[in-house]
Amino acid sequence: MSNIILNGVMGLVVADALGVPVEFKDRSILKTNPVTGMREYGTYNQPAGTWSDDSSMTLALADSLIKGLDYKDIMDNFIRWYDNGDFTPHGEAFDIGGTTREALFRYKKGVSPLECGGKNEHDNGNGSLMRILPILFYIQAIYGVDFQEGEEIFEIIHNISSLTHGHKRSLMACGIYISIASKLISEMDLSFSVWSGIYNAMEYYRSQEEFQCELKYFSRLEDKSFKDLPIEEIKSGGYVVDTLEAAIWCLLNTDSYKSCVLKAVNLGRDTDTVGAVVGGLAGLKYGYENIPDEWLSVIVKRGYIENLCNELLKTMQMQNS
């Protein structure tokens, strides 16, 4: 059986690492000198294959889920990441988003985990979307591989987001993302998987009174011609809706892991996170074996990441049996 956890998580980590050296670069600059493979140094002066907070927080969540679903334990892992450099490539956290930093600060002050995430409109950066993927594997272990999205499942996804990002728009972005990710694991046609993932999630949100005022922010994704939008219409900064859109647009307009994540990174600006968000989906769709070897071979702590994925898979399979 292929290891879907390794597919998704390594897909995310590799694309994050592709984006790290060019984070904040404008699209116009990358157009004249596009990223075609792993670079070294650049924005954070890190060696090739260095991944960032997106991967660290994803690994921190995956590590915690091995022990079961415990929101406090996940927050403790996030603190271990930021304060001690656990779950990092070189023993030190070199970046963090503002909303995440504030949430960790609240947690240390004694606020309960599910109340730590910022709930203001400006707290809708992509900081929970970039690390939400591992909860899919927990949900599949508990509710089955082809689980039906329902209240209980969305509540878990929303809780995982709320640890750092508690605004409804961030919760919805995570819900839509996990819904798409779950469909990509099946053998269905790519665009059918994406559309059914979006459709199922949006049907749920439409049925919930509390999400009504947020539906409009996701309307472009529901439009069947979304894929055909010109690149100028796709923003790649840190706003969660832009990141989700950019990821889905890249996925729909490419046909391999490599072409998908390079398209994402070359959009510019928040290159590591747009890369990580789409990298997780592309990894699930195309599989670990389709991630280029020359990229995998430079990933820092590759063995550690693979072991962690294998360990989580083992635990999830035990839950299922």
What CA–CA distance (Å, rounded) separates 224 from 222?
6
We find the least distance from the C-beta atom of residue 150 to Mg ion, in angstroms, to be 32
Furthest-apart CA atoms within the chain: distance in Å: 52
We find the least distance from the C-beta atom of residue 63 to Mg ion, in angstroms, to be 18
Number of shown-chain residues binding Mg ion (CB under 5 A): 4
Question: Comparing C-alpha atoms, which of 19, 87, 110 is closest to residue 11?
Answer: 19
Which residue lies nearer to Mg ion by CB, 11 or 197? 11
Which residue lies nearer to Mg ion by CB, 54 or 214? 54
Which residue lies nearer to Mg ion by CB, 63 or 272? 272
Q: 118: which strand partners?
A: 165
Binding part of the chain for Mg ion, among 47-55, 59-67, 144-152, 297-305 by CB under 5 A, reads 47-55
- Torsion from C-alpha of 143, 72, 280, 123, nearest 10 degrees: 120
User: Which position among 4, 10, 53, 73 is part of the footprint of Mg ion (CB under 5 A)?
Assistant: 53
We find the least distance from the C-beta atom of residue 112 to Mg ion, in angstroms, to be 27
Closest residue by beta carbon to Mg ion: 52
Cβ-Cβ contacts under 8 Å for 187 (sequence gap 6 or more): none
52 binds Mg ion (CB under 5 A): yes
- Helices 168-184 and 240-252: crossing angle in degrees, nearest 10, is 20
- Which whole-number Å values give the CA distances from 283 to 89, 124, 145, 204, 302, in the listed order? 20, 25, 17, 26, 15
DSSP assignments along 12-47, one per residue: HHHHHHHHGGGTT--HHHHHHS---S---BGGGTB-
- x/- mask, Mg ion, residues 112-131, rule CB under 5 A, reads --------------------
Binding part of the chain for Mg ion, among 51-59, 84-92, 192-200, 295-303 by CB under 5 A, reads 51-59
DSSP SS3 for 159: helix
Tell me 239's DSSP state: B
Which residue lies nearer to Mg ion by CB, 117 or 275? 275
73 binds Mg ion (CB under 5 A): no
User: Which position among 54, 63, 73, 214 is part of the footprint of Mg ion (CB under 5 A)?
Assistant: 54
Binding part of the chain for Mg ion, among 50-58, 132-140, 163-171, 250-258 by CB under 5 A, reads 50-58
270 binds Mg ion (CB under 5 A): no
User: Which position among 73, 149, 272, 306 is part of the footprint of Mg ion (CB under 5 A)?
Assistant: 272
Helices marked H in 47-167 — which ranges?
Answer: 53-65, 71-79, 98-108, 134-143, 151-162
Query: Apex CA 10: angle with CA 8 and CA 11, to 5°?
Result: 60
What CA–CA distance (Å, rounded) separates 241 from 159?
19
Which residue lies nearer to Mg ion by CB, 53 or 73? 53
Restricted to residues 178-217, the positions that interact with Mg ion (CB under 5 A) are none
We find the least distance from the C-beta atom of residue 51 to Mg ion, in angstroms, to be 8
Which positions lie near Mg ion, rule CB under 5 A?
Answer: 52-54, 272
